[in-house]
């Protein structure tokens, strides 16, 4: 029981530190999807408030069973609570690939590990898949 109390106390001590972590800037992301498909892309987050961000992401999905790859540009908003980041997007444009009612916006629920790495899940089309965001070489803005 004592170990549990110490673990909870330690996590509460890191809460303010994660809230101060700068996550604005350029990111690359990947998610594990099934069917031999690959999924990844780039994102940019810009702080708009104490715990709020806006941004854009471009996702690329390639599947051997589809006639062409998808490249989809999306506008996003994100909210941060402690070390948790919720990213919600809406499709703006199908840059490549036919516009499809079956391609849903790419949303993410992430844990802020550091200013260079976020991990969690891609939440799209009623499914949750492991995902990771890594700071792009362009860095923090």
What is the 8-class DSSP label of residue 5?
H
Q: For the chain, which ranges sit under pLDDT 70? A: 1-19, 138-141
**29-67: buried (b, 16+ CB within 10 Å) or exposed (e) per residue?**
bebebeeebebbbbbbbebeeeeebebebbbbbbbeeee
Quote the number of domains for the chain: 1
Q: Report the Cα–Cα distance between both ends of the chain, in Å, rounded.
A: 43
Give pLDDT, residue 19: 57
What is the model's pLDDT at position 17?
Answer: 47
Domain contains 101: yes
Show the domain range for 52: 2-135
Any domain includes 140: no
Answer yes or no: is 141 within a domain.
no
pLDDT at 42 (0 to 100) = 98
pTM: 0.82
What CATH number does residue 69 fall under?
Answer: 2.40.128.120
pLDDT at 125: 83
Q: What is the pLDDT of residue 116?
A: 97
User: What is the per-residue pLDDT for 138?
Assistant: 63
pLDDT at 35: 87
**Considering the domain boundaries, does residue 41 fall inside one?**
yes
């Amino acid at each position: 029981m004592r170990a549990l109390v110490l673990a909870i106390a330690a996590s509460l001590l890191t809460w303010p530190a994660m809230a101060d972590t700068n996550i604005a800037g350029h990111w690359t992301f990947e998610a594990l999807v099934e069917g031999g498909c690959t999924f990844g892309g780039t994102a940019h987050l810009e702080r708009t408030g104490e715990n709020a961000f806006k941004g854009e992401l471009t996702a690329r999905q390639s599947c051997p069973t589809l006639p062409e790859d998808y490249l989809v540009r999306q506008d996003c908003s994100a909210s941060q609570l402690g070390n948790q980041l919720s990213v919600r997007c809406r499709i703006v444009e199908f840059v490549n690939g036919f516009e499809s009612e079956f391609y849903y916006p790419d949303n993410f629920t992430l844990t802020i590990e550091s200013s260079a790495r976020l991990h969690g899940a891609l939440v799209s089309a009623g499914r949750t898949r492991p995902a990771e965001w890594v700071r792009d070489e362009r860095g923090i803005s």
